[in-house]
Chains A and B, each alone.
Chain A
């Protein structure tokens, strides 16, 4: 059974490249975590106007969620780009594994009949 999801410690960054706490170097990380003065990393999602989805815009460091929201306002909405902000600590993001993409999305590949253009209808049929 393939494992289609992989944990990425730093948002988009694979665990073995993330530095800090990963399964591989958990022991090392306990020591460095205390020394590191970096605040946690947050992924920022912004709704640009009422009726639209929140969309990922980037990331930033902040001590906690409230400060992440305030920083996100200053970094990502200086020109009225948003009316609502979501912040998620990057370490909580789980992502599909790009190495498995071929198998993972394969089931949808041969099902062209799921698209309306698959069906040839006479021109006489209107409004369909």
Chain B
């Protein structure tokens, strides 16, 4: 069969909502788009542990420590589900990790911002995980089977993340003057970077068109961003806080909130590696990999020894 015929059958399956599984024929470009997107998603989960890990030892109570620890452990698990899904596309785990460490692969820019106060952990759960959930709920219906299944698993676990974040802020919002200020300050700093998580405008996004046709993505960046703004603009009222956007306003006609323009210069600068924490994050990942070398070797040596002992017995 010619490639054109195979492509036609492939697209017909996609149009019929039949999932693509690893062994099925797929266009090379579909494979590469997915490797890029799923590995980037996996790296984001893993790098995403760093800003929060920073607060595990400093969380204000034993309860908060235990919750944060569980959340960060979840992120590690989410990274693993996604690395496994990437692997079904025919790249090795080692290569995927190397691509992160060499800087060839990207991760979500949001994790290049620092966590300065305890309220930031609340803001991350509420805003950053909230934004991620919108994207991930869409991806439970993505056309590639292993990616969709990983997303179902992740979404089940993710809603606890968002709720615990909101609850942290809710408690602060009912606290002392300093605590309320801390809450507002965290919202002020995380709001715009959270909006940037949805990526460039549809008119600017290089990967969007083909990804929509292949149903890798099922909603555009701007659509998702709009639903996020509509959702958060209501929730922030419960906290009695404000979002840092003077143009944010309910628009009766469109049935959505209008909002101000993102600082795209900042967006691209962080993507290109010049955010507040880019270098720090990459260093932390590389160091973790290098310092874990002996663990990987020891496990391999131990398993060899164990199997030799079993054979002798």
Contacts and interface: CB of A to CB of B under 8 A. Distances in A.
Contacts of B92: 19-20, 36, 38
Given A95-B23, A98-B23, A12 B93 contact: no
A109 B230 CA distance: 50
A37 B73 CA distance: 24
B88 A13 contact: yes
A75 B90 contact: no
Interface residues on B, range: 20 to 34
Given A36-B94, A58-B150, A78-B74, A10 B299 contact: no
Interface residues on A, range: 20 to 34
B183 to A, nearest CB: 29
Nearest to B156: A79
Given A38-B94, A60-B80, A67 B299 contact: yes
Interface stretch (B201-209, B270-278, B302-310): B302-310
A9 to B, nearest CB: 10
A37 B94 contact: yes
A66 B305 CA distance: 13
A82 interface: no
B303 A67 contact: yes
Nearest to A35: B94
A12 B88 contact: yes
A8 B23 contact: yes
Contact of A78 (B77, B296, B302): B77
A59 B73 CA distance: 18
Interface in A55-74: 58-64, 66-67, 74
Nearest to B80: A75
B84 A13 contact: no
B48 interface: no
Interface in A1-45: 8, 10-14, 17-20, 36-39, 41
Contacts of A95: 23
B300 interface: yes
Given A66-B306, A78-B77, A98-B21, A12 B299 contact: no
A12 B22 contact: yes
A38 B297 CA distance: 10
Contacts of A78: 70, 73-74, 77, 157
B256 to A, nearest CB: 35
A12 B21 CA distance: 8
Nearest to A17: B90
Interface of B: 21-25, 70, 73-74, 77, 80-81, 84, 87-94, 146, 149-150, 153, 157, 296, 299-300, 302-303, 306-307
Interface of A: 8, 10-14, 17-20, 36-39, 41, 58-64, 66-67, 74-75, 78-79, 95, 97-99
